[in-house]
DNA sequence: GTCTATATGCTGATAGAC
DNA sequence: GTCTATCAGCATATAGAC
């Protein structure tokens, strides 16, 4: 759409920038902003440091670009929640999608976790603005389900926090999860175990007593 | 006990070291290992950089000391789980204690989260050894409860992960939690809301279907 | 567009006076 | 024990040749 609205770029420039962003995501996710060096990123992208700085004017510039791009895709699953379908199905598929994202995009999850842990210096306004608005909106939908007796009454904000926490845990604390489960349960089986567990926890936890 | 077994220290030395560790915890928790500087820590501890390095021989030395101390207290609640009492009471009080720790020791939680996010370079052996052994042991207790029909059958490992994730979330993602809840729900009320929610989620989620 | 060389500033750690 | 001064190394970023 407006990918070149502000800064027109050639196709090659765009591709090189993609290459750098891909490499930077890897490095930033593992070492955090301060821990990552431009040298590492340039190495991973297969180019020299000055060459990298020809495409992005600073380390901060790369990081901001990554964060901004992350947020768009990161909140997509939450945006999709609506009150048309069955509440339990709706929540179950949200949890599933969040867990799939933790499996498929662990670096994005860790990039975000790093940013929040450091006090969210670059995204605090977005958290207090766009994110809060979105969550408030979905909380109202969930409250509607509770009033209608479709799911058990509980605090919708903390429900959302719990879904975020449990799913992202598998990306952010992956090292710990692997260490505790041992080599026997690596790979695909682990994901299905987690999915089954989370489905049971949240679905039973929200079942209407009666 | 054996606090001075390896390196005998005077009372003043011990106090200064405490002062430094307290300051370092604050800085490391916020900026991560690489992001923290000795200057910052020395400043926060109210002394000069060379003076600080008189008490700890390196930045890494401070960090290791903090991590080691952290682990002892951090796992205490898990250690206390036993199969003498009522299973639901036992799990409920474990969740409560973990949540209290997230409230009372958020810096310790973030220090640990930073370490794991970076791939656990300093604690991986401990995760694969001591932690795994401890978790395996508690998993057996939980399996016993399930076999006895005291709680619903589910994956005990992922149950523990979920408790860790949801409780530590309030320390590690504190900025985000505050941003989303807004200023209205700051302070003590937030903790009680979280405690109520988590109790409901896990207790109902583990209720035996009848 | 890409390179080598380099300016500039910061950081961990030490030397040595007091 | 605490200070000032300082070293050596590294990291961001730029200059300028090709």
Residues of A in contact with B200 (CB under 8 A): 152, 154, 205
**In chain A, which among 176-205 make CB contacts under 8 A with chain B?**
176-177, 179-182, 193-194, 196-198, 200-202, 204-205
Is A180 in contact with B135 (Cβ distance < 8 A)? yes
Residue B120 DSSP SS3 = coil
User: How distant is C1' of C9 from CA of B29, in Å?
Assistant: 25
Task: Say yes or no: A125 contacts chain B, CB-CB below 8 A.
Answer: no
- Alpha-carbon distance B94 to B202, whole Å? 11
Summarised one tens digit per residue, pLDDT across range A10-27 is: 999 999 999 999 999 999
Using the CB atom, is residue A53 less than 7 Å from strand D? yes
Please give the pLDDT value at position B6: 58
User: Per-residue confidence at A185, pLDDT binned at 50, 70, 90?
Assistant: confident
User: How distant is C1' of C16 from CA of B80, in Å?
Assistant: 52
Any idea of the CA torsion for B170, B122, B162, A104, to the nearest 10 degrees? 100
- Per run of 10 residues, the mean pLDDT along chain B (length 210 residues) is 59 96 98 97 98 98 97 95 95 98 98 97 96 98 97 97 98 98 84 98 88
Interface test mutation site (partner A, options B26, B204, B206, max chain A beta carbons within 10 A): B204
Q: Which residue, B92, B97, B101, B89, is CA-closest to B199?
A: B92
Same fold, A11-67 and A75-205: no
How distant, in Å, are the alpha carbons of B101, B134, B194 from that of B93?
A: 12, 18, 14
Is B194 in contact with A119 (Cβ distance < 8 A)? no
Summarised one tens digit per residue, pLDDT across range A41-59 is: 999 999 999 999 999 999 9
User: How distant is C1' of D9 from CA of A194, in Å?
Assistant: 46
Using the CB atom, is residue A37 less than 7 Å from strand C? no
Which nucleotide shows the minimum CA-to-C1' distance to residue A16?
A: C1
Residues of A in contact with B131 (CB under 8 A): 176, 179-180
Please give the pLDDT value at position B3: 41
The tokens for A188 are: 């695909």
Please give the pLDDT value at position B210: 63
CATH topology of domain A11-67: Arc Repressor Mutant, subunit A (1.10.10)
Residues of B in contact with A182 (CB under 8 A): 132
User: How distant is C1' of D8 from CA of A70, in Å?
Assistant: 39
- Alpha-carbon distance B121 to B119, whole Å? 6
Task: Say yes or no: B54 contacts chain A, CB-CB below 8 A.
Answer: no
The residue of chain B with its CA nearest to that of A118 is B30
For C4, nearest residue by CA–C1' is: A50
Please give the pLDDT value at position A6: 56
**Going by CATH, does the domain composed of B11-69 fall within 1.10.10.60?**
yes
User: Per-residue confidence at A2, pLDDT binned at 50, 70, 90?
Assistant: very low
- Alpha-carbon distance B192 to B189, whole Å? 5
Helices (H), A148-187: 156-172, 174-181
Is A175 in contact with B35 (Cβ distance < 8 A)? no
Any idea of the CA torsion for B62, B68, B73, B75, to the nearest 10 degrees? 140
Summarised one tens digit per residue, pLDDT across range A71-95 is: 989 999 999 999 999 999 999 999 9
Average pLDDT over residues A171-198: 93
Is B202 in contact with A205 (Cβ distance < 8 A)? yes
Using the CB atom, is residue A34 less than 7 Å from strand C? no
User: Per-residue confidence at A5, pLDDT binned at 50, 70, 90?
Assistant: very low
CATH number of B75-205: 1.10.357.10
Asked if residue A210 has pLDDT above 70, the reply is no
User: How distant is C1' of C4 from CA of B99, in Å?
Assistant: 56
Residue ranges of domains in chain B: 11-69, 75-205
Average pLDDT, chain A: 94
Out of B119, B168, B172, closest to residue A30 by CB: B119
Summarised one tens digit per residue, pLDDT across range A91-140 is: 999 999 999 999 999 999 999 999 999 999 999 999 999 999 999 999 99
- Alpha-carbon distance A45 to A48, whole Å? 9
């Amino acid at each position: 759409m407006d990918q070149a609205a502000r800064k027109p770029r050639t196709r090659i420039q765009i591709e090189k920038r993609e290459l750098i962003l891909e490499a930077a995501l890897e490095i930033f996710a593992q070492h955090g902003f301060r821990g990552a060096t431009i040298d590492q990123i340039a190495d991973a992208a297969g180019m020299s440091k000055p060459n990298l700085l020809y495409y992005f004017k600073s380390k901060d510039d790369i990081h901001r670009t990554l964060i901004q791009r992350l947020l768009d895709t990161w909140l997509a699953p939450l945006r999709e929640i609506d009150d048309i379908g069955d509440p339990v199905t709706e929540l179950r598929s949200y949890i599933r999608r969040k867990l799939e994202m933790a499996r498929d995009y662990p670096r994005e999850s860790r990039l975000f976790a790093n940013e929040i842990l450091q006090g969210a210096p670059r995204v605090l306004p977005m958290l207090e603005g766009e994110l809060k608005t979105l969550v408030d909106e979905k909380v109202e939908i969930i409250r509607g389900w509770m009033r209608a007796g479709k799911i058990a009454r509980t605090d919708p904000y903390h429900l959302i926090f719990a879904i975020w926490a449990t799913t992202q845990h598998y990306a952010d604390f992956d090292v710990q999860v692997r260490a505790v489960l041992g080599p026997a349960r690596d790979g695909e089986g682990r994901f299905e175990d987690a999915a089954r567990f989370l489905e049971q926890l949240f679905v039973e936890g929200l079942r209407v007593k009666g």
